[in-house]
Amino acid sequence: MATHEHDHDHDHDHGSELSEMQLRVRALETVLTEKGYVDPAALDAIVETYETKIGPRNGARVVAKAWTDPAFKQALLDDASKAIGTLGRVGDHLIAVENTPQQHNIVVCTLCSCYPWEMLGLPPVWYKAAPYRSRAVKDPRGVLADLGVTLPKETGIRVWDSTAETRFLVLPMRPAGTEGWSEEQLAAIVTRDSMIGTGLPQAQP
Amino acid sequence: MPQECGEPVFREPWEAQAFAMALALHARGLFTWPEWAATLSDEIKRAQAAGDPDTGETYYRHWLNALERLVAEKGVASAETLTRYQEAWDHAADRTPHGAPIELRPDDFK
C-alpha cells in the first residue's frame, strides 16, 4: 500500500478527488439546476441521445434517399432543412452541396467547429483541430491527399466554411457498381467523412 | 479511413455534461447559436494565444470556458458564485470515502 506516501493532507487518504474540470462542471450544473435552468435528467437524456441515437447514420440515410429518388434529391439541393423535415428529421440551417465530376465539396468551420450535429452526430477530433481548420481552406487538395483521397486534376474543390447559421452536408457521388442497390445497402456505404467531403463512399462487393 | 473507427465521442464524462448543458441552455433561449459560436471561437483564440496546441483534445475545455462566460454575461451565475460551488464540491469530495458517490450538502459551503 502506497497510501502513506500522500500524507501531505491526511483527509485525502480516505476521501475522494475531483479534477478541476469535474469540479467546474459539477458546480455549474448545480447552480443551473438550483436556478431551474437545467434538469439533470434532461441532461443525461441529451448525452444518451448524442452518444447512441444520433450519428452519421441519419445523414447517410438522407444521402441514400437522394441517390435513389431524383425528386427528393432536387428538394434536398433546393432546401435541405425542408426536405429533411419531410422525412420527419431535423436538420436546422442546413445546405446540401452536391459533388460532381467537376466539383468536389469539403466542409470546415474555420472559427470553431459548427457542424450538422443532427445529421452527423458529434464532430471527430480532427475536425475541431487547428491543423484541419486552417489547412482545409489553404490547401484542400493536400488535406484530401493526406486522408487518402485523390481527385482527378480536372475536379475543382470548393471549401464551405460553416457558421452558427449555416451548416453544410456534402452529397457525395454515388459510386459505380451500386446499380440496383436498396436504400439500406446504399446508406451502409455512406461514411461520415464522405458527408464532410474528406472521404469518398466505396462500393464494396 | 483510420479516423472512422474507435474514436470516442466524449473522452470523459464531464465533457458530455458540458456539451449537454450548452444544448439545454440554448433550447431554453439563454443564448443564440451565433452568440455561442462567437464566444467559443473567442475562447479558442485566447487559448491558442496562451499556447494551447488546439489539436481538438482540449476542445471541451474551451467549450466549458465559453459556457461559464455566457452564464456570467447573461447574469445567471457570476464567476464568484461558480467558485463558491466548486469549493463546496471539493469539500464534499474530501469527506466522501473513495468509491462512494459524492453528494453536495449544505455544510460543504463555508
Rounded CA gap, A102 and A115, in Å? 25
Res B53: pLDDT: 82
Rounded CA gap, B19 and B42, in Å? 17
| Residues β-bridged to residue A95 | A168
Res B7: pLDDT: 52
Q: Of A3, A47, A93, A114, which to mutate for an interface test with B (greatest number of B Cβ within 10 Å)?
A: A47
Rounded CA gap, A50 and B16, in Å? 9
Average the pLDDT over A132-137 and give the result: 90
Res A6: pLDDT: 40
**Cα angle for residues A189, B15, B52 (degrees, 5° grid):** 95
Give the list of residues 6+ apart from residue B27 with CB closer than 8 angstroms, or none: none
Contacting residues of B for A54, CB less than 8 Å apart: none
Res B2: pLDDT: 27
Phi, psi of A132 (to 5 degrees): -70, -45
Res A173: pLDDT: 97
| Residues β-bridged to residue A160 | A107
B11-42 tens-digit pLDDT? 788 999 999 999 999 999 999 988 999 999 99
Write down the residue that cell numbers 471541451 correspond to: B60
Average pLDDT in chain A: 88
| Statement: residue B5 has pLDDT above 70 | no
| Statement: residue A53 has pLDDT above 80 | no
Contacting residues of B for A52, CB less than 8 Å apart: none
H or E segment to which residue A106 belongs: strand A103-108
- Grid coordinates standing for A134? 486552417
Average the pLDDT over A2-29 and give the result: 71
Rounded CA gap, A201 and B4, in Å? 12
Cα A117 off chain centre by = 5
Residue B96, min C-alpha distance to chain A (Å) = 5
Rounded CA gap, B70 and B35, in Å? 9
Q: List the catalytic residue out of A16, A19, A81, A109.
A: A109
| Statement: residue A5 has pLDDT above 60 | no
| Statement: residue A87 has pLDDT above 60 | yes
B95-107 tens-digit pLDDT? 998 878 899 999 9
Res B39: pLDDT: 95
Nearest C-alpha neighbor of A120 from the set A189, A196, A174: A196
Nearest CB neighbour to B41, from listed A16, A111, A193: A111
Give the list of residues 6+ apart from residue A195 with CB closer than 8 angstroms, or none: A56, A59, A60, A63, A119, A120, A169, A170, A171, A172
Q: Of A22, A126, A135, which to mutate for an interface test with B (greatest number of B Cβ within 10 Å)?
A: A22
**Residue spans of beta strands (DSSP E) within A109-201:** 156-161, 167-171
Q: List the catalytic residue out of A16, A19, A81, A112.
A: A112
Q: Are strands A94-98 and A156-161 parallel, antiparallel or unpaired?
A: unpaired
Rounded CA gap, A131 and A19, in Å? 28
Chain B residue closest in CA terms to A28: B82
Give the list of residues 6+ apart from residue A19 with CB closer than 8 angstroms, or none: B14
Average the pLDDT over A20-47 and give the result: 95
| Partner-chain contact A24 B16, CB within 8 Å | no
Domains of chain A, earliest start first:
19-53 (no CATH), 56-196 (3.90.330.10)
| Statement: residue A180 has pLDDT above 70 | yes
Residue A194: is it exposed, middle or buried by C-beta count within 10 angstroms (0-12/13-18/19+)? Answer: buried
For residues A79 and A197, the answer to whether their CB atoms sit within 8 Å is: no
Average the pLDDT over A56-82 and give the result: 95
Res A164: pLDDT: 76
Q: Which of residues 13-32 of A touch B (CB under 8 A)?
A: 14-19, 21-32
Res A205: pLDDT: 45
Q: Rounded to 5, what percent of chain B is helix, strand, coil?
A: 65, 0, 35
